[in-house]
Chain A
């Protein structure tokens, strides 16, 4: 199936769709050797938004598709795409929407930043002066008062951490950091070095296979590995954590895997754990706020990938995420 543009034939691909859409010259779709039904089916697959009705006029993103013609005694599904006048206004609308989204995003980031900064201040006062009270009146207050003071301080400390985490989450963006070539193996090596103390404490073992070079913003890929490997060490169930990091090429993507032998994750929780501040355990069982995976998800998705978890049959879990494989040469 080919698209003819004013005399030149071009293969139908997703890129051609765009070119046809923005080109103001008419382009025609030649069915080649396909029967009308086969052709109709192919059209539906390639252009799902195109409504083909029996009177053979459809609409596709503001582009008029004209008649399916009768020629030489048989129905030849011939669709001519002509850029309709609305095309320009669609482009203007789109540009407008992009501008509005950028503005809204900037506003939200600023709000999150200012709010967290201003919220930290009174929180610090609550926490600090309650502790001072406890110190100055220690021995003069009863056990109940001590307990209440502990709850106040604990609450304030936790709120402070939540605000900081929220701020960190809201700040993950692309604006300041351009994409740069990143050696994922080197990033894992740095993460393991950063986590050395907790690795030693837990007698953990982290190994990795050959890992590729990819494009990433700032140190965000490192952050993903830090959270995933850190979690793998943290959520063990008594035995020394054993963690493997690997990557497999699949079409235009790399699929990274972080496998551990710790606690497993029930299938019904597989989605939940990536939500912000979602925890599956009490603070006594495992510490943390529940933002690590939400951060991983945001970073991975901003780079055009996806992240998910696969429980293992025996024990532990594999966290996988995809990452675009293309390298931009400077």
Chain B
């Protein structure tokens, strides 16, 4: 059985992006993470536009909030109001712990809000937790039935 899992990671911090992608890859077989560094590129990926014309439909979107050009808030709104994209599970993955940010994300339809831990061990176990939940515990809609 060869299950391929595609993750779209939207984060402008290359350090965080690389670490997250690495941890996701190591958390289970067949997990591919596509990293984009701003909201404009994220939407292009999701709409299969330009250089992303061959982009796969992700099984999970992990979204940072503070990014230049188009930020995470704008992406969240666009994805959850697009009938073609709204069913893709979306996890907001941000350093912000502000209650107002958390509340607003859920209001806008995010499936989940996870705060980025400030220490390495915490970061590792959190990403592992996200992977275990979404790719192990939860059922996802996969092509082929």
Closest to B22 in A: A132
Q: Are B95 and A128 in contact (CB under 8 A)?
A: no
Q: Are A124 and B118 in contact (CB under 8 A)?
A: yes
Minimum distance in angstroms from B2 CB to a CB of chain A: 29
Q: Are A120 and B15 in contact (CB under 8 A)?
A: no
- The interface residues of chain A lying within 8 Å CB-to-CB of B19 are 128, 132
Say whether A191 faces chain B, with CB atoms less than 8 Å apart.
no
Say whether A157 faces chain B, with CB atoms less than 8 Å apart.
yes
- The interface residues of chain A lying within 8 Å CB-to-CB of B123 are 128
Minimum distance in angstroms from B104 CB to a CB of chain A: 17
**Interface 1/0s, chain B 9-50, versus A by CB < 8 A?**
000010100010000000000000000000000000000000
**Interface 1/0s, chain B 59-100, versus A by CB < 8 A?**
000000000000000000000000000000000000100000
Q: List 11 A-B contacts (CB under 8 A).
A: A120-B118, A121-B13, A124-B118, A127-B119, A127-B120, A128-B15, A128-B19, A128-B123, A132-B120, A157-B119, A160-B118
CA separation between A157 and B118, bound complex, in Å?
A: 9
Chain B residues touching A, range: under 10
Number of inter-chain CB pairs below 8 Å = 23
Chain A residues touching B, range: 10 to 19
A binding-site residues for B, Cβ under 8 Å: 117, 120-121, 124-125, 127-129, 131-132, 157, 160
- The interface residues of chain B lying within 8 Å CB-to-CB of A127 are 118-120
CA separation between A129 and B95, bound complex, in Å?
A: 17
- The interface residues of chain B lying within 8 Å CB-to-CB of A160 are 118
- The interface residues of chain B lying within 8 Å CB-to-CB of A128 are 15, 19, 119-120, 123
Q: A121, A125, A128, A160 — which one has the most chain B CB atoms within 10 A of its CB?
A: A128
Q: A128-B123, A132-B19 are in contact. List 4 more A-B contacts (CB 8 A).
A: A121-B13, A127-B119, A127-B120, A131-B120
Closest A-B pairs by Cβ, 6 of them: A131-B120, A125-B15, A128-B120, A124-B118, A160-B118, A129-B15
CA separation between A253 and B118, bound complex, in Å?
A: 43
Closest to A130 in B: B120
Minimum distance in angstroms from B131 CB to a CB of chain A: 18
CA separation between A117 and B97, bound complex, in Å?
A: 11
Minimum distance in angstroms from B140 CB to a CB of chain A: 29
Minimum distance in angstroms from A242 CB to a CB of chain B: 35
